[in-house]
Amino acid sequence: MAEASGRPAVLPRTMHQRRHILDLDDFSRDEIVRVFDAADSMREVMQRDIKKVPTLRGKVIVTLFYEASTRTRVSFEIAGKALSADVVNLSASGSCVSKGVSLVDTVRTLEAMGIDAVVVRHSASGAPYLMAQHLRTSVINAGDGWHAHPTQALLDLYTMRGHFGALDGLKVVIVGDVLHSRVARSNLWGLHTMGAEVVVCAPPTLVPAAWRAGCEPQVEPPPSRLLPPVRLSYDLDEALPGADVIMVLRLQRERQQSGLLPTLREYSRRYGVNAARVALARPNALVMHPGPVNEGVEIAPDVAHGAQSVIEEQVRNGVAIRMALLYQLLGGR
Ligand code: CP
């Protein structure tokens, strides 16, 4: 049922109104909880026969993806449409971007057409921040370079909360190519804010240099002021006992060509998550992966599709979280 304002009665009013979603480093614990509470209501909408509410009728959202995406782009489109917004998808190859028009000029052109929000993915770290400086329109970071992927981290945290009720005290082991992972960085902020203990596990060549400098495995925190404290381990078998969550990161195969890994076989042997390694964690531990998954490299197929895997649930929750964020940015005004 909708109120006169068009806001579904199930949704709480937002207390704090933010303009942009750029990373989780400026999200308070209360704000993250409010996103989760709104996502609970959105999940209920998505379980109806008619998955549509009028909340964002008349709003226009543009998705602007300069890099490939399946999950993030499509879930934003589904989320916007379920809230009755008009969603326009623009890819770099199908726009004036391919004629050399700058990012800022592109989004200024879009803004002149009266859009309300732009969801952007870009290979350059910081691109959404540049846009936010030049636009009145809301900017949502859908992944910038190696830097941040805040909506992925929120859906990851929301999935954990769905299983454990709260994140305080959970032990989360993030394993894989942390160096190049925007997912890992945003999760570190969110997990830290929500009170989880994080262990990062990777080969030394796939850990940011600032974390390694003077930092032997097992020493915390890493000497970096750019991220919250984490424990670093180079040994997955040592890191896993007591883990509530194993978050596996995609191994970006191109890293092998750049000399950061000896062979994929060696990587899988030392850092691949297989059934024997899952058994080292707590019995009810969750296995997570943001996707896309390289089965047989960073995760064994039987683990990716096994009873402890919540990879599909993460994708499902991605729609509810993105609906919640769009509602809070555009609907609570
Ligand atoms: N997790 C994630 O960002 O997936 P996509 O690249 O498919 O959007």
Kindly list the structural domains of the chain, giving each domain's residue range(s) and its CATH number in brackets, ordered by start. Answer: 29-148+315-330 (3.40.50.1370), 150-311 (3.40.50.1370)
The pLDDT of residue 91 is 80
Ligand 1 center from residue 218 Cα (angstroms)? 31
The pLDDT of residue 97 is 62
pLDDT in tens, 255-299: 666 778 878 899 999 999 999 999 999 999 999 999 999 999 999
How far apart are alpha carbons 313 and 26 in whole angstroms? 26
The pLDDT of residue 11 is 47
pLDDT in tens, 54-84: 999 999 999 999 999 999 999 999 999 999 9
- Any atom of ligand 1 within 6 Å of the Cβ of 41: no
pLDDT in tens, 125-163: 999 999 999 889 999 999 999 999 999 999 999 999 999
Rg of the chain over Cα atoms, rounded to whole angstroms, equals 20
Q: Whose CA is nearest to atom 3 of ligand 1?
A: 72
Give the DSSP H or E segment for 321: helix 311-326
End-to-end CA distance of the chain: 19
What is the chain's mean pLDDT, rounded? 89
pLDDT in tens, 239-254: 999 999 999 999 977 6
In the predicted model, is pLDDT for residue 165 greater than 90?
yes
Distances (CA, A) of 220 to 18, 199, 202: 33, 10, 15
pTM of the model: 0.91
- Any atom of ligand 1 within 6 Å of the Cβ of 69: yes
